[in-house]
Amino acid sequence: MRHNDTVADLPRKTFTRSARIAALPLGHAGRAALGFGKRMGGKPAEAVSTELQQRSAEQMFKVLGELKGGAMKVGQAMSIFEAALPEDLAGPYRATLTKLQEAAPPLPASTVHEVLVEHLGADWRDRFAEFNDQPAAAASIGQVHRAVWRDGRDVAVKVQYPGAAQALKSDLNQMVRMGRLFGVLVPGLDMKPLLKELRERVIEELDYLTESESQRAFAAAFEGDPDFFIPHVLAAAPNVLVTEWVEGRPLSEVIAEGTPAERDHAGLLYQRFLLSSPERVEMLHADPHPGNFRIMPDGRLAVLDFGAVAHLPGGMPRTVGRLMRIAMSGDADTVVEGLTAEGFIRPHITMDGERLLEYLLPFIEPVQEAEFHYSREWLRGLFERVKDPRGVDFTVGLKLNLPPSYALIHRVWVGATGVTCQLDATVPVRAEVERWVPGFTDEDEAA
């Protein structure tokens, strides 16, 4: 069997993949027409809308999961916004997305072996005491196999899908064009800039050697930490990555069935890791979906998958903390000046400072209290405010810009907020921000 034939079950030819993705909006339009007929038949419009959104979510993420590659990566990124959906949609949507985050159709063992020969050598089996041909998990552009390293350590072997690079670019270009359709599932959020940023950053994830360098830096910075565990890298090649195996409870499981105490513990460590890493590593883990985090038996948070990181020389920009503090003080004019200087407000845009503060303060509500309860209801309220064209928030939001240098920081902040709301966790996040975000306290400003 030829190499290309071994991956026939992975629909990666440009025409086939593009056709399947492009069919999604057509399917949505067809169901919308069907919905109109049902309304004409007397079925309540609200019930029809709910049914359409349920079916759209199920179809969209089923196709994304089957396609793997860039499409699945986009699906994983979108899954962090599940908490913003109305509760009557959240159940089936959550089930579909959990499957997407944790599993996908596996590659044949013969294909996996070919990749290992190509990147680890013909004697690749000599590196392992045992190797399980059945994948333990599926990532967006590869799958993970459990094995035993030659020294007896349990390891995870991530193998990139053959053809991932070609499929990636085709998928992501299609998904950018579908930004408006994603807006149906996440009302009020402009998905197009996020999808464009995702397209650029995901391509970087193809090189596992680069990922291994990032993971080694995180592992060294967090070595011996009482709260976190970063698996060490044992071997790396462009399309194969071998790291220590992590036993733990997926964050998605804590979301689904965790006790209040377990949710609060997971939420605190999750926020602490993301807030502290820019200072400790000068990098930000930029893929915050639940599939990349595990609660270990000893209570530590294990962090996986360092393919997407934001490099932040010098740590988190001081402006982030400074503007949050100024906004909390009510100094509208200084907030406008600061956002303009950073490029969030373009020079030709006129912004009313008081209206801007009215828009911003609900978003930084978590840091205004000693403890904050992140909930789906709170997050849905934010989205409802932003998407209402009759409200102040809608018009203010249209005037704001997202500078490229802040794109990944924004992605992580929005994603982390969504995940913490899924956890329904109460977190003393203000203390974490004071500790880790420069510029937030007066002492930082004086420094």
Sheet holding 301-303, edge to edge: 228-229, 301-303, 293-295, 249-250
Q: Against a cut of 0.85, is the pTM above it?
A: no
Fold of the domain spanning 109-160+207-244? Phosphorylase Kinase; domain 1 (3.30.200)
pLDDT value of residue 60: 55
| Residue boundaries of the structural domains of the chain | 4-103+170-187, 109-160+207-244, 249-447
pLDDT, tens digit, 9 for 90 and up, residues 63-107: 555 545 555 555 555 554 555 555 555 555 555 555 544 445 678
Helix (H) or strand (E) holding 30: helix 14-40
Cα 198 to chain centroid distance, Å, stands at 10
Cβ-count burial 47-64 (b if 16+ within 10 Å, e if not): ebeebbbbbbbebbbebb
Q: How far are the Cα atoms of 145, 303, 329 from residue 155, in angstroms, in the given order? A: 8, 15, 50
For 265-280, write each residue's pLDDT tens digit.
Answer: 999 999 999 999 999 9
State residue 291's pLDDT score.
87
Phi, psi of 372 (to 5 degrees): -135, 135
Q: How far apart are CA 381 and CA 363, in angstroms?
A: 11
Q: How many CB atoms lie within 10 A of CB 46?
A: 10
Q: Which residues of the chain have pLDDT under 50?
A: 1-15, 17-18, 21-22, 24-50, 67, 80, 100-103, 185-189, 446-447
